[in-house]
């Protein structure tokens, strides 16, 4: 027993530590210049409020509370925590009890007699080489990974609601432009008709006017379809039936402008905040721990077991009469055809794959941030240029209509001006939405949007308090979920191929 107690301080397999920023090749700054001043964590956590649109804020916060994907991810957290409880239970001995009572019916002299029998069994496998402790370590990392996955879903849902809200507003704006243009073209057809009756123009001009009018009218049904698709998608993201958010989108209005000052980005903060990166890191930790689970099978196992029983004419007599055996046994693998070592090698390969996936997750997060920073700047410049072009196109149409009425230009010139204005207005509407969407993508790339999300009720077991934490794990997977500093400074890095 003394020897087993000393050996219990050892654990098979490598001790895990998270790779450092330098090992992950994380730069100190992004190549793209930050768009503006930095925002604090609270602003990043509730970035949708920066758009100053109450409808958008209401939809995002409703979605974070009711989205079904979030509810499903919360149930996965609950499942992972339950598995952690089960893994911890293997560290404790197993106990079982039994009891019985038998009544013997005797004659007039002996009388009736009752005899009681009680007993219990105990079994305990000493975790000499740490296989069970590695299982607990893996289960803990898996539970924390489930929490990170939940936060990733919350971040995605918040951004998807915003993007579909912008799409709905874009469709409303383009519908308004198309209908206003159609009304203007109806007036143009009427003017050309008068001039045709007066013999000032030929039938060709009238047919051209009707053609562009009908082409514009044909765009309206497709825009209505785009609006319905965005509105229905919003309803589903809010956990409701299609059509349920129609009232929230009325009256029709343009998409909100992005905030003037967007958060500056620091690569290290991106790695720290992003839940998908945290999920990849926790997966690596779990896979590393499972190496120890497999390696422990190579060594002997010490099992302690006992069986005790007693009987008597009363329960107290039966308890006092307890007697039994205590057995210690050792089992060790001798020949298994290389199966155990093959399982260890397979798990080392799985951990190496998890390390590569973690590196990929970090680089992808940095790539998305770089792209978002560039997109924010590019979409702003594009929107400004298109705004100037739309103003010029509007002025050109007014001049062309006046000159056409005066007979100074032909009808083809007027038609070209009408087409250019419609195209400029349509492009400007899309550019405004693209600028707002780029801001959302930046917030998402920086890892904002999950910090203020409520904990879904599916995380808690029935009867538990909202947000109650199982097994001592944190209620919310925060920045501590991803440890950049070494957790085991005295151990070799998992980046060392010899450790994996």
Place of tokens 């980005």: 265
- CA distance readout (Å), 450 to 2, 56, 67, 121, 147: 49, 16, 13, 49, 11
Res 111: pLDDT: 57
* C-alpha–C-alpha distance, residues 2 and 128, integer Å: 11
> Measured at the alpha carbon of residue 287, what is the angle toward residues 283 and 289, in degrees to the nearest 5?
115
Place of tokens 């349920």: 244
* C-alpha–C-alpha distance, residues 159 and 47, integer Å: 10
Q: Note whether 226 and 169 are within 8 A (CB).
A: no
Count of C-beta atoms within a 10 Å radius of residue 7: 16
CA dihedral 7, 13, 16, 19 (to 10 degrees): 150
Length of the chain: 500
Whole-structure pTM value: 0.80
Question: pLDDT 10s per residue in the chain (500 long)?
Answer: 454 454 545 678 788 888 888 888 888 777 775 544 455 677 888 999 999 999 999 999 999 999 999 999 999 999 999 888 888 887 778 777 777 777 766 656 665 677 777 777 877 777 677 788 888 888 999 999 999 999 999 999 999 999 999 999 999 999 999 998 888 888 888 888 887 887 777 788 888 888 888 988 999 999 999 999 999 999 999 999 998 888 889 898 988 988 877 777 788 888 888 999 999 999 999 999 889 888 888 778 777 777 777 776 777 766 676 776 777 777 777 776 678 889 888 989 999 999 999 999 999 999 998 899 889 889 999 999 999 999 999 999 889 888 887 878 887 888 888 888 888 988 999 999 999 999 999 999 988 889 888 999 888 865 443 333 333 333 333 333 333 333 333 333 333 433 33
Place of tokens 């190549």: 31
State the number of CA atoms in the 13 A half-sphere of 40 facing the CB.
1
* C-alpha–C-alpha distance, residues 250 and 199, integer Å: 47
Bridge partner list, 301? 331
Rounded to a whole number of angstroms, the CA Rg of the chain reads 35
Burial (0-12, 13-18, 19+ Cβ within 10 Å), 486? middle
DSSP-assigned letters across all residues of 223-252: HHHHHHHHHHHHHHHTTS-TTTTTGGG-S-
DSSP-assigned letters across all residues of 148-199: HHHHHHHHHHHHHHHHHHHHHHHHHHHHHHHHHHHHHHHHHHHHHHHHHHTT
- CA distance readout (Å), 164 to 174, 229, 244, 246, 451: 15, 9, 14, 13, 21
Count of C-beta atoms within a 10 Å radius of residue 351: 25
Which pairing describes strands 301-312 and 94-104: parallel, antiparallel, or unpaired?
Answer: unpaired
Handedness of CA 451, 456, 460, 466 (dihedral sign): positive
Exposure string (b/e) for 50-84, b if CB count within 10 Å is 16 or more? bbebebbbebbbbbbebbebbbebbbbbbebbebb
DSSP-assigned letters across all residues of 375-403: HHHHHHHHHHHHHHHHHHHHHHHHHHHHH
Coil vs helix vs strand at 406: coil
* C-alpha–C-alpha distance, residues 71 and 239, integer Å: 10
Tokens at 29, concatenated: 């700054």
């Amino acid at each position: 027993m003394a020897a087993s107690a000393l050996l219990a301080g050892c654990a098979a397999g490598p001790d895990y530590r998270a790779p450092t920023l330098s090992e992950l090749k994380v730069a100190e700054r992004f190549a793209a210049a930050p768009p503006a001043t930095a925002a604090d964590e609270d602003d990043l956590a509730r970035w949708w409020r920066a758009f100053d649109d109450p409808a958008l804020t209401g939809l995002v916060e409703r979605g974070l509370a009711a989205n079904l994907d979030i509810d499903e991810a919360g149930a996965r957290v609950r499942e992972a925590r339950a598995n952690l409880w089960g893994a911890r239970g293997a560290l404790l001995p197993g106990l079982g009890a039994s009891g019985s009572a038998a009544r013997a019916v005797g004659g007039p002299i002996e009388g009736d007699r009752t005899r009681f029998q009680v007993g219990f069994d105990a079994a305990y496998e000493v975790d000499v080489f740490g296989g069970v402790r590695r299982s607990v370590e893996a289960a803990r990392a898996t539970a924390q990974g489930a929490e990170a996955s939940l936060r990733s879903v919350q971040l995605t849902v918040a951004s998807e609601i915003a993007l579909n809200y912008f799409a709905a507003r874009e469709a409303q704006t383009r519908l308004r432009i198309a209908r206003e243009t159609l009304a203007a073209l109806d007036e143009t057809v009427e003017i050309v008709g008068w001039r045709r009756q007066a013999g000032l123009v030929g039938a060709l001009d009238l047919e051209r006017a009707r053609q562009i009018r009908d082409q514009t009218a044909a765009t309206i049904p497709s825009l209505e379809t785009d609006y319905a698709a965005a509105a229905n998608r919003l309803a589903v993201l809010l956990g409701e039936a299609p059509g349920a958010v129609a009232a929230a989108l009325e009256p029709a209005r343009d998409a909100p402008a992005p905030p003037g000052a967007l958060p500056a980005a620091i690569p290290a903060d991106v790695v720290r905040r992003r839940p998908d990166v945290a999920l990849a890191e926790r997966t690596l930790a779990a896979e590393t721990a499972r190496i120890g689970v497999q390696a422990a099978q190579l060594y002997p196992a010490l099992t302690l077991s006992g069986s005790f029983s007693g009987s008597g004419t009363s329960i107290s007599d039966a308890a006092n009469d307890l007697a039994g055996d205590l057995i210690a046994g050792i089992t060790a693998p001798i020949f298994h055809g290389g199966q155990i070592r093959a399982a260890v090698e397979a798990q080392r390969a799985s951990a190496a794959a998890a390390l590569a996936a973690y590196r990929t997750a970090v680089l992808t997060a940095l790539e998305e941030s770089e792209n978002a920073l560039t997109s924010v700047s590019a979409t702003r410049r594009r929107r400004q240029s298109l705004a100037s072009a739309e103003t010029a196109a509007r002025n050109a149409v007014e001049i062309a209509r006046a000159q056409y009425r005066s007979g100074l230009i032909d009808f083809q010139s007027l038609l070209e001006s009408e087409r250019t204005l419609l195209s400029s207005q349509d492009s400007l509407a899309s550019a405004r939405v693209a600028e707002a969407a780029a801001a959302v993508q930046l917030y998402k790339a920086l890892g904002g949007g999950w910090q203020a999300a409520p904990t879904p009720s599916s995380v808690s077991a029935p009867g538990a308090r909202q947000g109650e934490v199982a097994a001592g794990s944190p209620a919310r997977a925060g920045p501590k979920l991803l440890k950049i500093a070494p957790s085991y400074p005295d151990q070799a890095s998992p980046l060392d191929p010899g450790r994996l």
